[in-house]
Amino acid sequence: MTDNFTQKLSDWSGGNQNALAEIEQVVMDELKRQANNYMRRESVAHTLQATALVNEAFIRLVNVKISWQDRAHFFAISARLMRRILVDHARQKKSQKRGGGLHHTSIDSDLIVCYDSVEDLVVIDDILKEFETFDKNAVRLFELHFFAGMKVAEIAEVENVSESTVSRELRLAKAWLTKHLQASK
């Protein structure tokens, strides 16, 4: 994505619907990439498909009234929207089930959270909400990594920080999640 993309985002937030039409394919491609990265971690039985996630995220992005600052802002908002959609879906599925407890949840060395049930995603979301009161930046970077599927170098580029800063913040988020996931068992 280039500065042209940032300019089109700015034009779009200023009400220029032609600007949205010009970047729509780039937006959809990015949402598909994010959704596919995330959905690879899901079980085959997951009821929300990547296409549905992309469509819902796009609809929400189009309808949100926001002044886009730059591509980092776009990535952060789209990751946050996907998180909200996935957690809402998980909460809905959880409310439809009877009984059952939490299953194994872990964080591997690449900071990928693995979980076995929709209940775990809800627990992860609750832990992130709590952590956000202490460190919003670490949560934002974790969202870009986990929900948008971005690598450390990509996050560093869009956030305009060093890779070591991103790695440090992700390690902090991992430690927080690990501690609180273990406490929730």
Q: State the pLDDT at residue 163.
A: 93
Q: What is the pLDDT of residue 66?
A: 81
| pLDDT score at 100 | 45
Structural domain of 39: 3-184
Q: Could you give the CA distance from residue 16 to residue 11 in angstroms, rounded to a whole number?
A: 5
DSSP assignment letter at 97: S
pLDDT at site 119? 65
Surface-to-core class of residue 134, CB atoms within 10 Å of its CB (0-12 exposed, 13-18 middle, 19+ buried): exposed
Token pair for 164: 């070591």
DSSP 118-178: HHHHHHHHHHHHHHHTT-HHHHHHHHHHHTS---HHHHHHHHTS-HHHHHHHHHHHHHHHH
Question: Residue 102: what pLDDT?
Answer: 42
Q: Using an 8 Å Cβ cutoff, are 149 and 38 in contact? A: yes
150 CB burial (10 A radius; 0-12, 13-18, 19+): buried
- What pLDDT does 185 receive? 65
Relative to beta strand 113-115, strand 105-107 is antiparallel
Task: List C-alpha distances in Å: 52 to 48, 56, 74.
Answer: 7, 6, 20
The vertex-33 CA angle with 32 and 38, nearest 5°, equals 95
pLDDT at 69: 80
Global pTM value: 0.57
Number of independent structural domains in the chain: 1
Mean pLDDT (10-residue bins), the chain, 185 residues: 77 83 84 78 63 82 80 83 83 62 46 53 84 89 84 89 91 85 74
